[in-house]
Structure 1
Amino acid sequence: MDKKGLTGFQLKMIGLILMVFDHLYSFLDNMPIQFKWIGRIVAPIFIFMTVEGYYHTSNKKKYMLRLFIGSFVMNLGNLIVPKYFPSANNIALTANIFSTLFMITIYLCIVDFIIRAIKEKNILKITLGIALFILPVALGILIIMNIETLLSVQILGHLVLFIPNPLFIEGGPLFLLIGIVMYLLRKNRKKQLLIYAIISLAIMFTGQLSIQGILYDNFQWMMVFAAPLLYLYNGQKGRGMKYLFYIFYPVHIYILYIISTL
């Protein structure tokens, strides 16, 4: 390595390995809960790397298009695979981190737009940026308010699956918030990870503050343990293989799902 620490490639490989453990617990019986614990640090790693990728890419539109295509294909697979391999255990195929990462890049574009508008002191653009920021959430609330009607005409599935929305993506508004915070504070790694840690630990207080509560019921706070790995990021891209994640993520999920149906 040119610098000490972890390259982007190495961080992604750590994420991919721990992702397998997380999904082993999700799809197969009798897996230890510890697999789920270590899986909590996976999404933050890929959110962090998406923020870095968005910032450094020379073609943001192309970068976002890749994430959207990944989201679309994954959602399509989530519909098709269960038709040929129905689950007797009612295991649902809902995983799609691509939708989350794509929605994060959408909001980063909006954040950039608002920042430029503030620098230009353009009130009209600032108002437009705020409206764009709120609009997807408002649409999500509208869907929830009309969910019975939408379900009856089978529109909801198409809206949610093929048009990502902050309220329905994997991780929801929480992961979206983390992505925005990481982006705004990316030039100050210590402050960035401090705020990230505070957000992570705050989740602990949304459930029962007991051993049962924080270890077995509400353990999403464990994503705080991604912070040391993110701190070790040395700013280097590392090896290529940019399509590895796009391929490995859906393939290993569908393999584990099919095994679970058998």
Structure 2
Amino acid sequence: MNFSNILKKPGLSGSTLKILAIIIMAIDHFGAVVISQGILGNPAIRADHALWQNWYTFYRITRNIGRSAFPIFCFLLVEGFLHTSNLKRYTLRLFLFALISEIPFNLAISGTLLSPHYQNVFFTLLIGLITIAAADRFRDKPPVQGLIFAAGMVLAYFLETDYDYKGVLLIVILYAFRYNRLQQVIWGAISVFWEIFAVFAFPFIWLYNGKRGIRLKSFFYWFYPLHLLAFWGIAQLLLKYIH
């Protein structure tokens, strides 16, 4: 390992940011699925108020930590758009895994196979990607870009995707300030004030060094549905065996 090169290029690579976001997301979903459903929802735990309160505190900690994952994924989406050599393949991959992830997402979050009123985060990222890709074709026509941005947010809102229009707005902001990291961080942080713990994502985004790092192209795509299924299974076991 050449330590001199590391010293010349400080900061976080894209793969480091992605791994960090995956870990944070897993902590969030552990709270949302395993703790919320498997522990807090268990009658034996609910019967003991003090124990339930302790677990609820832990639940809140995991959810607060998890708020910073989504802005990192949005930032990486914009970086992916700027550097992809095949936008069509990138878009189709997001769409495919949005479909693959929907049943695991529904089971983990809603406890049902079908939940038409809440779609997984891949749909939000997909809409965000299509929105900025369409707007990028009209860089010399700001009014048209504005209409495209609005259409993307409206679509996410009516499809009821995870983070809905607010998620697409964040992607739009990160795209709009794509050539100015400071502006990305400032306006991105302002746009997530409604979810205050999400602002902790932006110091990590600020540290991005522009390097791709190790290849993790497929890992996140498969990790998302598989970890949701695993957490749902753990929650069901806890419901069954905690007495």
The normalised TM-score by structure 1 is 0.70
Cα distance, 1:35 vs structure 2: 0.8
Which residue number corresponds to residue 188 of structure 2? 196
Following TM superposition, by how much is the alpha carbon of 1:72 offset from its aligned partner in structure 2, in angstroms?
Answer: 1.2
Q: Structure 2 CA distance, aligned partners of 1:252 and 1:95?
A: 17
Q: 1:229 pairs with 201, 204, 213, which one?
A: 204
- Deviation string 1:59-79 (CA, Å, 9 cap, x unpaired) is 111111110111111124446
1:166 offset after TM fit, Å? 3.9
1:195 and 1:131 mapped to 2: Cα distance? 20
Instruction: Map Cα deviations across residues 219-249 of structure 1 (whole Å, 9 max, x no partner).
Output: x211011110000000000000210000111
Gaps of 5+ in 1: 120-125, 141-164, 204-219
* Corresponding residue pairs, total: 206
**Cα deviation code 1:203-230 (max 9, x no counterpart):** 2xxxxxxxxxxxxxxxx21101111000
Please state whether the residue corresponding to 1:115 is helix, strand or coil.
Answer: coil
Equivalent residue letter for 1:115: R
Alignment partner, residue 48 of structure 1: 75
In structure 2, C-alpha distance between the alignment counterparts of 1:64 and 1:130, rounded to whole Å: 21
Q: Extract structure 1 runs of 4+ deviating beyond 3 A.
A: 76-79, 91-95, 129-138
Q: Are 2:31 and 2:62, in contact at CA under 8 Å, matched by a contact in 1?
A: yes
1:22 aligns with 2:17: no
Structure 2: how far apart are the matches of 1:68 and 1:132? 19
Query: Within 5 A, what are the aligned runs for 1:148-159?
Result: none
Q: Which amino acid aligns with 2:63?
A: K
CA offsets 1:142-166 (integer angstroms, 9 cap, x no match): xxxxxxxxxxxxxxxxxxxxxxx34
AA aligned opposite 2:236: T
Indicate whether 1:174 and 2:204 are aligned: no
| Equivalent residue for 1:36, pick from 52, 63, 84 | 63
Closer, same or farther: CA 77–197 of 1 in aligned 2, 3 Å: closer
Q: What RMSD, in angstroms, separates the aligned Cα atoms of the two structures?
A: 2.7
Does structure 1 retain, via aligned residues, the 8 Å contact 2:98–2:123? Answer: yes
Residues 243 and 46 of structure 1: is their aligned pair in 2 closer, same or farther, counting only changes over 3 Å?
A: same
Which amino acid in the other structure matches residue 244 of structure 1? F
Q: Give distance in 2, aligned partners of 1:5 and 1:137.
A: 32
Q: Which residue of 2 aligns with 1:12?
A: 18
Conserved 8 A contact 2:152-2:168: no
Which amino acid is the alignment partner of residue 38 of structure 1? I
Residue 47 of structure 2 is aligned to residue 59 of structure 1? no
Query: Which residue of the partner structure matches residue 106 of structure 1?
Result: 130
Q: Is the 8 A contact 2:77 2:125 kept in 1?
A: yes
Alignment partner of 2:214 out of 239, 247, 256 = 239
| Offset of residue 114 of structure 1 | 2.6
Distance (whole Å) between structure 2 residues aligned to residue 72 and residue 134 of structure 1: 24
**Residues 10-45 of structure 1: CA deviation (Å, up to 9, x unaligned):** 001111111111011101223611111110000001
Q: Distance in 1 between matches of 2:236 and 2:170?
A: 34
Match of 2:44 in 1: none
SS in 1 for 2:169: helix
**One-letter amino acid of the counterpart of residue 78, structure 2:** V
Whole-angstrom CA distance in 1 between matches of 2:220 and 2:134 = 26
Residues 247/137 of structure 1: CA separation in 2 closer, same or farther (3 Å cut): closer
Shift of 1:137: 5.8
Structure-2 separation of matches of 1:194 and 1:105: 21
Alpha-carbon separation, structure 2, partners of 1:137 and 1:93? 16
How far apart in 2 are the matches of 1:178 and 1:22? 20
Shift of 1:48: 0.4
